[in-house]
Amino acid sequence: MDALHEKKLKKLEEIAAALRHDAVEMVINAGSGHIAGPLGMADIFAALYFHVIAHNHRRPAWPDRDRVILSNGHICPIQYAALAHAGYFPKEEMKTLRQIGTRLEGHPHRGALPGIETTSGPLGSGLSQACGVALAGRLDGLKYRTYCVLSDGEHQEGNLWEAVMFAAKHKLNAVTAIIDRNNIQIDGMTEVVMPLESLRAKYEAFNWHVLEIDGNNIAQFVDAIWEAHAVYEKPTVIIAHTIPGKGVDFMEFDYHWHSKTFSKAEAKKALHELRTLEEKIISEHQ
Amino acid sequence: MSLYPAAKLLGTLFKEGELDMAPTRDGYGTGLVEAATKNKNVVALCADLTESTRTQAFAEKFPARFFECGVAEQNMACVAAGLAVSGKIPFIASYAAFSPGRNWEQIRTTVAYNNANVKIAGHHAGISVGPDGATHQMTEDIALMRALPNMTVIVPCDAEEARKATLAAAHIVGPVYIRFAREKSPVFTTDVSPFTPNKAQVVWESHKPQAVIIACGPLVYNALHAARLLEREGIMSVVLNVHTIKPLDEKKITDLAKKYGAVVTVEEHQIAGGLGGAVAELLARTHPTPIEFIGMLNVFGSSGSPEKLSVKYGMDVQSIVRATQKVLSRK
C-alpha cells in the first residue's frame, strides 16, 4: 500500500461515486436487494480494492493476496461493483444480479464468482472465518492480511463475540475488522432494536486495538489501515461511522432503505442524484 | 457360524469376555494422529473437550496445529471453514449435541454450502451416553447432517473402524461428518477388515437368507448377535454394516432387498431422518420392501445405564430378533 497522494485520493473518490451508481443500478435491475449499506460503504470498498489490498484480478487464488471477507453478505452489490471495476468479471454482468443463472447470487457465494472468498448472508460468522484464514496464513508463513467487513447490527449475534474472543486469544494482528457503523438495521435504529453501545468499550474490553473514523472519509480510512498494520500485539477494529444511503438525499439516514426496494420514480431520482454527484466530483478534480 | 469371510472380523467375536472393549472415540484419537503424521495440512480444533473427544494425543504431538476454541462451537465451525478455504484440513471435535447440534447453521453455510474441506467429529452420540441424560444423548445428528448437500456421513461400528473412518475422512475432499460414541463397545473388526466409504459391508450371511438386517454404529454388534440367535431358530439373515449413510451404497442395499425381500434397520438415532429413513427413501424408489425399524421412535432419551437404555428403547439383541420375525410375517 502506497502513501495516499492528493491525486490518488481524488481518483478513489471518483471510483466510489461510480461504485455507488453501479450498486444502485444493480439493485434497481434486480428489483430487490439491500442498498443503504452498499451506498454507505462505497468509499471504503473503493479504498480497499483500489488502494489498500494486494491483489490480482487475473490470479484470484494467488496465495499471497490480501483477503477481504464480507461478513454482512447482504451489502454484496458494493463488493460486486468493486470486483467488476477491478477487472474480476465483465461490468455488463452486473445487471444479472439475482437473476436465474447468474454468478452474482443474492448473497455472495464462494466459487460462484472470482474474488469472493467466503459464502455469507447469515450474520455473525464472517469474523470467525477471517480468523481461520489468518491462522492458515500464520501456519504457512504467508504475510497476507485479512480484512473482515462487518455490519453493526450483526454484533447482536453471539457467534460474532465468540470470534472477537478467539482473535484476541490468538493475537491475530493480521486481522482487521471494519465495522459499518451506520446505526440502522431492518427493524429500525440499532440503539432501539438492541443497543450496541459502547462498541468501542466492548472491543477494548475484549483486548482489541480500536479506531473510530468517519467511514465516508477515504483519507481517514487509509490512515486507520496504516495504524492497524503497525499494531503487532493484537487485532484491530476500525469502527467506521457511515451514512446509510450516502449520496442519495432522500435515502440518507432512513432505516427503511436498509432493505426497501425502489419505486420507478425513486429509482430515477436516485440515479439522477448519483450521476450528478459523480459529475461534480469529476469536474472538481479537473 | 455364518460370519462373512470377506469382512475379516475377529473369529472370537461372540466370546464376549475375551473381546477388547473400546469406545469408538478412541479410534478418532489414533486416526487423527495418523492422518496428521501423513499430512501436515491436517489441523485440529476442539471446544473445551480435548480429553473426552480424544483430541489430546494430537494436541500434545502437534501443538502448533491444535486450536482450543473454548465452549464456542459456532465459532469453531467457522474458524475451521476459514482454515479449509486456505488449504488446511481441519477436524473439529465436540459432543454431537453441540456440534452439529448447536452450530448447524454455521455448518450449513460456511462448511457445506461453502464446500469447505472440514471434518466434523460428533462425539458422545446416541443414547449409550447413559447417565448424562437426553440433553447429551444426541439422536438427531445423522438427520441434520444427511440433509446437507456436499456432506458425507459416516457412523463407524467400533474403534478400529473409527480409526479407518478418520483416516479416510482426511482423504475425502469436502465436508465429512463422523459420529462417535462415548461408551466402550466390542472391537470386532480387525486391521485387515475392509473399509471403503460408500461401500456397505456384509458381515454375516446365513445359508439361504430370508431377511436383511441393515445396521450402523456399535449396534452392528447387536445385529450380529441377533443374526446368530435367529439362525439357531431357523431364520436365515444377512447383516449389512452401512457405515456410510451418505452417500448411501444404493446398489448393495437395493440388490439385497431384491434378493431377500425383507429389511430391518438398526440405529441409535431417530428413525426419522436417520439410517431407517435413508433406507426407506431408497427402497421406495428402487424396490419397495417391507421394513421394520429399530431406533428412537419420536422420543428423547433419558438417564440410565447404557444396557438398560438399550432395552428401554428397543435396541437390544432381543428387539432385533423380534423385529426380524415381524418383518418376515409381512413378506
**Domains held by chain B: number:** 2
- Kindly indicate the confidence band of residue A284, based on its pLDDT and cuts at 50, 70 and 90: confident
Instruction: Give mean pLDDT, residues B301-320.
Output: 97
Is there a contact between B118 and B100 (Cβ–Cβ < 8 Å)?
Answer: no
- d(CA B99, CA B177) in angstroms, rounded, equals 10
Instruction: Give A193-230 pLDDT, tens digit per residue.
Output: 999 999 999 999 999 999 999 999 999 999 999 999 99
Whether chain B has a CB inside 8 Å of the CB on A71: the answer is: no
Give the closest of B65, B83, B110 to A125, CB-based: B110
pLDDT of residue B328: 98
Measure in Å the smallest separation between the Cα of A160 and chain B Cα atoms. Answer: 8
Instruction: Give mean pLDDT, residues A59-70.
Output: 98
Bridge partners of B121, per DSSP, are B93, B178
Whether chain B has a CB inside 8 Å of the CB on A123: the answer is: no
pLDDT of residue A1: 66
- d(CA B97, CA B132) in angstroms, rounded, equals 12
Whether chain B has a CB inside 8 Å of the CB on A90: the answer is: no
- B76 and B225 housed in the same domain: no
- B255 and B164 housed in the same domain: no
B135 pLDDT more than 90: yes
Is there a contact between B72 and B43 (Cβ–Cβ < 8 Å)?
Answer: no
Whether chain B has a CB inside 8 Å of the CB on A235: the answer is: no
Instruction: Give mean pLDDT, residues A155-179.
Output: 98
Q: Which of B186, B219, B252 is the last residue of a domain?
A: B186
- B165 and B200 housed in the same domain: no
Which domain, by its residues, includes B155?
21-186
User: Catalytic residue numbers of B?
Assistant: 73
- d(CA B238, CA B223) in angstroms, rounded, equals 10
Residue type (1 letter), A275: R
B201 pLDDT more than 70: yes
ipTM, 2 dp: 0.95
Contact A132 B81 (CB under 8 A): yes
- d(CA A68, CA B224) in angstroms, rounded, equals 54
A286 pLDDT more than 80: no
pLDDT of residue B281: 98
- B182 and B259 housed in the same domain: no
- B116 and B212 housed in the same domain: no
CA distances A119 to B4, B82, B85, Å, are: 46, 11, 11
Contact A129 B105 (CB under 8 A): no
A51, three cell numbers = 488502494
- Residue B247, preceding peptide bond in cis (omega within 30° of 0): yes
* Percentage with pLDDT > 90 across chain B: 98
Our measurement of the distance from residue A276's CA atom to the centroid of its chain's CA atoms, rounded to an integer in Å, reads: 24
Domain A6-285 maps to which CATH number in 3.40.50.970, 3.20.20.70, 3.40.50.140, 3.50.50.60? 3.40.50.970
B106 pLDDT more than 80: yes
pLDDT of residue B62: 98
B186, three cell numbers = 466390542
Instruction: Give A87-101 pLDDT, tens digit per residue.
Output: 999 999 999 999 999
B192, three cell numbers = 485387515
- B294 and B247 housed in the same domain: yes
Instruction: Give B167-184 pLDDT, tens digit per residue.
Output: 999 999 999 999 999 999
Question: 3-state class of B45 per DSSP?
Answer: strand
Q: Which of B46, B65, B76, B85 to mutate to probe the A interface, most A CBs <10 Å?
A: B85
**Residues of chain A with C-beta less than 8 angstroms from the C-beta of B84:** 132
Whether chain B has a CB inside 8 Å of the CB on A137: the answer is: yes
pLDDT of residue A3: 73
* Domain boundaries along the sequence of chain A: 6-285
- d(CA B108, CA B149) in angstroms, rounded, equals 9
User: What's the pTM?
Assistant: 0.96
- d(CA B208, CA B226) in angstroms, rounded, equals 17
* Percentage with pLDDT > 90 across chain A: 93
* Percentage with pLDDT > 70 across chain B: 100
- Kindly indicate the confidence band of residue B222, based on its pLDDT and cuts at 50, 70 and 90: very high
Q: Which of B136, B152, B186 is the last residue of a domain?
A: B186
Any alpha helices (H) in chain B, and if so which ranges?
A: 24-38, 56-61, 73-84, 104-106, 141-146, 159-171, 219-232, 250-260, 275-286, 306-312, 317-329
Instruction: Give mean pLDDT, residues B119-144.
Output: 96
- d(CA B104, CA B34) in angstroms, rounded, equals 28
pLDDT of residue A259: 83
Instruction: Give A242-261 pLDDT, tens digit per residue.
Output: 999 999 999 999 999 988 88
Give the closest of A130, A136, A159 to B88, CB-based: A136
Measure in Å the smallest separation between the Cα of A121 and chain B Cα atoms. Answer: 9
- d(CA A212, CA A202) in angstroms, rounded, equals 13
What average pLDDT is seen over chain A? 96
Instruction: Give mean pLDDT, residues A186-197.
Output: 96
| Residue A254 burial class via C-beta count within 10 angstroms: exposed 0-12, middle 13-18, buried 19 and up | middle
Q: How many CB atoms lie within 10 A of CB A8?
A: 16
Instruction: Give B74-92 pLDDT, tens digit per residue.
Output: 999 999 999 999 999 999 9
Q: Which of B169, B186, B203 is the last residue of a domain?
A: B186
- d(CA B130, CA B137) in angstroms, rounded, equals 8
What average pLDDT is seen over chain B? 97
- d(CA A164, CA A239) in angstroms, rounded, equals 14
Bridge partners of B94, per DSSP, are B122
Helix H or strand E segment including B212 = strand B211-215
- B215 and B165 housed in the same domain: no
